[in-house]
Structure 1
Amino acid sequence: MFSHQKYEKQYYLPPTLSYDWVKKETVEKAPTWCSVDLRDGNQALPIPMNLDEKLKMFQLLVDIGFKEIEVAFPAASETEFKLVRTLIDNNMIPDDVTIMVITQAREHIIRRTFEAIEGAPRAIVHLYNSTSEAQRRQVFKKSKEEIKQIAVNGAVLVKELAEQTEGNFYFQYSPESFPGTEVDYALDICNSVLDIWKPTPDHKAIINIPTTVEIAMPHVFASQIEYMHKNLVYRDAVTLSIHPHNDRGCGVSDAEFGVLAGADRVEGTLFGIGERTGNVDLITLAMNMYSQGYDPGLNFSNLDQIRTKYEELTRIKVHERQPYSGDLVFTAFSGSHQDAISKGMKYRKENKIEKWDVPYIPVDPADLGRNYQTDVIRINSQSGKGGIGYILETNYGIKLPYKMNEAMSYFAKNVSDQSNKELSAEEIYQVFKEQYVDFQPYFQLIDYEFHKGEKQEVTLTLLKDNQHVVIQGEGNGSLDAISNALKKHFDIDYALEVYEQQSLGTDSIADSCAQIGISLQGHMYWGAGIDEDILMASVYALVVAVNRLIAYQANEQE
């Protein structure tokens, strides 16, 4: 039965204190990033990565710029143990990278963990045990003091084995299931562990606060973190870390608020892969900083390649709407959005703007290796003239007059609506050709010849009703003469209102595209022509425009 009455608040507010985090605007300095893809992310995969895939993932994380990487739970499986040994024995850990291994606060697991990391150049031993009221009562059936003693005993053994094992070791403790733990009790356990380890500013310990299951709003978590931040012992010798999950969909907010509240370090995964709804997405966090003008310390300039590699190794598909990394996150289908983006991109180019400030697009897609031509504006039945004009101009160099662009958009949207699909740039160009370049159902121009006289004179050969027809005209110029010949032959008196043209390339033999708009009794009729010779392109455009006018009159008479 769907009933809210069987639920109640399960989180704990800290003792009263004045909160400073609410006065801060944004995260200005990157925290220490720790990727947990190889452990926390991997354990959530339907098909966990094998050893070779894990080694490739480790290298991917190094290439991105992570300096701390949780690689394994060595006591969990032989593959996990072997990964750690492979990295150490083959000197695969860069000098500036620290690996991390995780262990429960249980003696045989801790001992197996130290067997795995013997000889490590730099390794963090991550000790944890669950502390929440629900787990104490339901799972362990132990008192607060007994749960605390588990953490203390684990801390003692970790310290002893570190002194007996070759390697360079740092310690981390997590009160797992923190959101359901009384905050002052969690603080007491963490301080008790720190009293065992006695960290120094030159050899810090890490206290990691996980939102193992997210059960409260982000401001509650921030308040809890600030309480921990202000009350931890050895604070100048402690790195305060957070490990947000995403059960309420607020993992990113938890992380950002947590850093504002005093956290120095964030654990998470690429694309947010993790148990249930996942871990916090470190790409989103880093790019949020980047979009505000701050250096996140991670490099996502080839994000498409990172995503492809990640999907290959994890067999998990990144959602199309995943912030920054999804296929569609920089794509506008809406007509009004497309129009604003198109104008914004044009304004940026014309005014040589350095700072990014394009409507609807928070960061420059090119910074992430994305393509303006294929990613930013895509066309379906919801699109508008701005988007369609942008596609033609960006991909083909064809810049349509405003009203012609509007008319073209109706044709393209109708095709998308009838086919019930998105149109590619090639398909949009084909619609343009069919409607404005090749549209000649009533007559075609076969040839023309100019003659000298007081005015420009011309003789045209048309193909009409499968017969060649020769007509003549004169005017003040070449195009005017041809236009007058067509007016006389078809007994129409339109006005040539719009004439535009542009080169479709940069070299001397590039095609030109001409657009012509003629009007009669308040209606506009458009045509386009493409040819190496600008006059020929203009003539072809006029022929199409007149064909459109005749087609309109024929439909009106039916």
Structure 2
Amino acid sequence: MPMLRDPSTKYLPYPDVPFPPGYVRRWPTRRTTVAPRWLSTDLRDGNQALVNPMSNATKLELFRELVKIGFKEIEVAYPSASEQEFQFVRSIIQNGEVPDDVSLQVITPARPDLIARSIESLSGCRHAIIHLYNAVSPVFREVVFRNTREQTIDLTLNAVRLVKKLTEEETARSGTRFTLNYCLETFSQTEPDFAVELGNRVFEEWGKATPEDKMMFNLAATVECAPSNHYADMVEYFSTNIKHRDSVIISIHPHNDRGTAVGAAELGLLAGGDRIEGCLLGNGERTGNVDLITLALNLYSQGISPNLDFSTLSDTVALVCRCNEMQIPVRYPYAGQLVFSAFAGTHQDAIKKGLDAQAKRWSEVDRSGQGKKYWAMPYIPLDPKDLGYGYENLIRVSSQSGKAGTAYVIKQTMDLDLPRRMQVSFYKVVQDESERIGKEMTAALIASLFKQTYSLDPQPVGRLFLHSYRLFPLSPTTREPSSPMSDYSDDIQALVPSDECSSIFRLEADLTVDGVERSIRGDGRAPVLAFLDALRTDLAFDLEVGESASQTINGDSPARAKSVTFLEAYEPGTSPSKSGVGSFWGVGISSDVTTAKCRAVVSAANRIVGDRTFPRPKKIFAPRPKISTVDSDSWLHEVKLRSGGLQPRSEKEMPGSFRVDTPTQT
């Protein structure tokens, strides 16, 4: 049968709550500032909804987890339903599994024989809560039980008298202290005035509730059949009309038939609720009970301690899913595998900028000792680390992602801050690879692709590979080599110096070119320009430098710091892409600044070289100029040489010059 064009012919809207004329609702202007009392019903309300109910061993495992999380009130069983349920209650009491500050709750319908069995199960417990229930809405009164209002009240009060009598006898026998939790089952479908009338009669019959020893009323949205604001109205009506309000705890028990149990619970608290009943991950009949994890972490993200500890949330989720033989969607609030993950490029860009900005704010708080490290992040309302997660899952890269996501992964895995236009360039490489394999690009795949793209490998992976170079300044007038350079001499040199700079450098480099080792030599006003001149002169490979950037990676200690150069190159007659798409970049990493720059040149050259043919090495003899040792350079003997720095040349090489071996890039 198709859906009705006019569903009003079949379904009735929810009725108004009978507030007096002019009444102003309180809950819309209130704000929750403290956590409620919590009752976990996982072991009973949740267990009864399972296709395969838990064994007592499994229930014990979950009970211990609930205690560890911090629940102080736990509904553990329906003792009169089966011997197994009865024995579970007895076992955790007799085996000392119940901490002194934890109260056990059991549920019983309003039947004399079942009430007696339930109270018997709690013998010896320090504090027990009897959850007495009966359905009181019109549809149950008239259809299921065929009772009038008066008959429903009589049935309820008779059950309360019996609970009172039997619990007092058990207290005298074993010392167990009892609290009554009367549940108006199907409260969400009950006339508000009748719910209040019944509640007041139950309170009077129990006769023992005081502000110091309160009784509870469970206002169950057994079926969620109206919007959350209607449930809040019903709770507020009950809360403001029940007598002796200071001696009553109002317990909120929402279900999720409309998918708004969390909203109903939060509004129910504003409307006067004191306690929340529910299950971890919302397990329960039909669409489930309210999810206590979501509720607790909603409070936590507003700066309110829920008094429950989900510091290892993934472990808790795994345990609950295993015990209940259930799974949750990957986008499930807080607990899903992808709730802190962003695939969209705009989201990734915002998250990356947020992390960078927050790191600066927090660093300033540490430095100045002023202010607080408040969490303020786009798209991420709660710090994943508080729940035992890391940041590695915040940004996930697919073919639908953007440059920021890729740049974030490279920063997290390799500690490299890519220039913006290089981010665009490399993301195109990542996007093409993601489309090729048809899968998400993991952090490991992206890091591997980055190293492959920019020839960051200790072995030759491109057509050009730099082994070592020799660098020394030339006299500006005679262009003859002068004193050799230290490995720090390039720290203040730009990749392309200003026109006023008159220094000239000579660079001789040993490369592997298409698998064959050869040497090249060039001159220029900076080491990079000298290297470009060498490529142009000996390999007929002409390149221009575009944008460049540098970075220092500290590593484990300052002594292990490495210099990083990012360099954009292009061929004469062309121009770099304004956006960065299609640009050719190189990356060089070394403990020596100049080596990093030379490696960046080779890295970029490998991106551009294509299948061009290089000329053969020139066989021209050119005697080296004779250079005398300068006494003023005796300080070089005091320089501590490091891997990748300057090394003395052999006696067969030019006296007074230095050779730089280029160790492995990492």
TM-score (norm: length of structure 2): 0.79
User: Where does residue 188 of structure 1 map in the other structure?
Assistant: 197
Tell me which of 301, 314, 326 is aligned to 2:324: 314
Q: Do the aligned residues in 2 keep the contact of 1:229 with 1:235 (CA within 8 Å)?
A: yes
User: 3-state DSSP class of the match of 2:231?
Assistant: helix
Q: Is 2:630 the counterpart of 1:536?
A: no
Per-residue deviation, 1:387? 1.4
Which residue is 1:547 aligned to? 606
Hey, what's the Cα distance between the residues in 2 that align with 1:71 and 1:392? Answer: 49
Partner in structure 2 of residue 260 of structure 1: 270
Partners of 2:508 and 2:68 in 1: CA distance: 69
**Inter-CA distance 52–493: structure 2 relative to 1 (3 Å threshold):** closer
**Is the Cα contact below 8 Å between 1:498 and 1:518 reproduced in 2?**
no
Which structure 2 segments of 5+ residues have no match? Answer: 366-372, 476-503, 577-582, 614-666
Secondary structure in 2 aligned to 1:409? helix
| Alignment of 1:155 onto 2:214 | no
Aligned residue in 2 for 1:515: 566
Unmatched tracts of structure 1, length 5 or more: none
The DSSP-based 3-state class of the residue aligned with 1:487 is helix
Q: How many residues align?
A: 553
Counting aligned pairs with the same residue, the percent is 39
Q: Please name the residue that 1:332 is paired with.
A: 342
Question: What CA RMSD, in Å, does the superposition of the two structures yield over aligned residues?
Answer: 2.1
Structure with larger Rg: 2
The answer to whether the Cα contact below 8 Å between 2:256 and 2:290 also exists between their aligned partners in 1 is yes
- Rounded to whole Å, the distance in 2 between the matches of 1:210 and 1:150 is 19
- Give SS of 1:351's match: helix
> How far is 1:418 from its partner?
2.3
Alignment match of 1:476 (pick from 518, 521, 525): 525
- Decide whether the 8 Å contact of 2:585 with 2:604 is kept in 1: yes
Matches within 5 A, 1:228-307: 228-307=238-317
- Using a 3 Å threshold, how does the CA distance of structure 1 residues 486 and 496 change in structure 2: closer, same or farther? farther
Other-structure match for 1:503: 553
Deviation for aligned residue 1:90: 2.1
More helix by share: 1
Give runs of aligned pairs for residues 71-470 of structure 1, distance below 5 A.
71-166=76-171, 167-198=176-207, 199-352=209-362, 354-373=373-392, 375-438=393-456, 441-450=462-471, 453-454=474-475, 455-470=504-519
The range that moved more, 500-509 or 266-275, is 500-509
State the 1:345 CA deviation.
0.8
Paired residue type of 2:560: I
One-letter identity of the residue aligned with 2:438: N
Q: Which moved more, 1:479-488 or 1:294-303?
A: 479-488
Other structure's SS at 1:456 match: strand
Counterparts of 2:434 and 2:203, CA distance in 1: 64
3-state SS of paired residue (1:120): coil
> 3-state DSSP class of the match of 1:372?
coil
Change (3 A) 1:7 1:413: farther
**Alpha-carbon shift at residue 390 of structure 1 (Å):** 1.1
Say whether the 8 Å CA contact 2:546–2:567 is kept in structure 1: yes
Distance 1:387 1:106 in 2: 62
Please list the CA deviations of residues 369-393 of structure 1 after superposition, one character each: whole Å capped at 9, or x if unmatched. Answer: 11012x2111111211111111111
The residue type paired with residue 271 of structure 1 is L
How far the C-alpha of 1:465 sits from its partner, in A, is 4.3
> Equivalents in 2 of 1:361, 1:314: separation in Å?
29
Q: CA deviation at 1:155?
A: 0.9
Whichever residue aligns with residue 229 of structure 2, its letter is H
Question: What letter is aligned with 1:444?
Answer: F
In the superposition, relative to structure 1, how do residues 506 and 466 fare at CA in structure 2: closer, same or farther (>3 Å)?
A: closer
Check whether the contact 1:461–1:468 (CA below 8 A) recurs between aligned residues: yes
Amino acid at match of 1:526: W
The answer (yes or no) to whether the contact 1:380–1:423 under 8 Å persists in 2 is yes
Q: Distance in 2 between the 1:20 and 1:437 partners?
A: 68
Give the SS at the match of 2:81: coil
Match of 2:74 in 1: 69
Q: Which residue matches 1:525?
A: 584
SS at the partner of 1:539?
A: helix
User: How has the CA–CA distance of structure 1 residues 111 and 103 changed in structure 2, closer, same or farther, with 3 Å as cutoff?
Assistant: same
SS in 1 for 2:560: coil
Runs of 4+ residues deviating >6 angstroms: none
Greater Cα offset, 435-444 or 399-408: 435-444
- Corresponding residue of 2:491: none
Structure 1 residue 177: deviation in Å? Answer: 1.3
Per-residue CA deviation, residues 290-314 of structure 1 (Å, 9 max, x unaligned), is: 1111121111122122112222322
CA distance in 2, matches of 1:121, 1:344: 50
Q: Cα gap change, 1:29/1:19 in structure 2, threshold over 3 Å: closer, same or farther? A: farther
For residues 134-174 of structure 1, the C-alpha deviation after alignment (integer angstroms, 9 at most, x for no partner) is 22232222222222222111111111111111321000111
Partner SS for 1:514: strand
CA distance in structure 2 between the partners assigned to 1:302 and 1:464 by the alignment: 53
- Whether the 8 Å CA contact 2:554–2:560 is kept in 1: the answer is no
Instruction: State TM-score, norm by structure 1.
Output: 0.94
| Segment of structure 1 superposing worse, 311-320 or 543-552 | 543-552
SS of the residue 1:537 aligns to: helix
Equivalent position of 1:27 in the other structure: 32
Are the aligned partners of 1:218 and 1:250 in contact in 2 as well (CA < 8 Å)?
A: yes
Pairwise CA distance, 1:532:
4.2
2:336 corresponds to which letter in structure 1? G
2:522 aligned counterpart, secondary structure: strand
Q: Amino acid of the residue matched to residue 70 of structure 1?
A: E
Residue 249 of structure 1: how far off its partner (Å): 0.5
Preserved CA contact (<8 Å) 1:525 1:545: yes
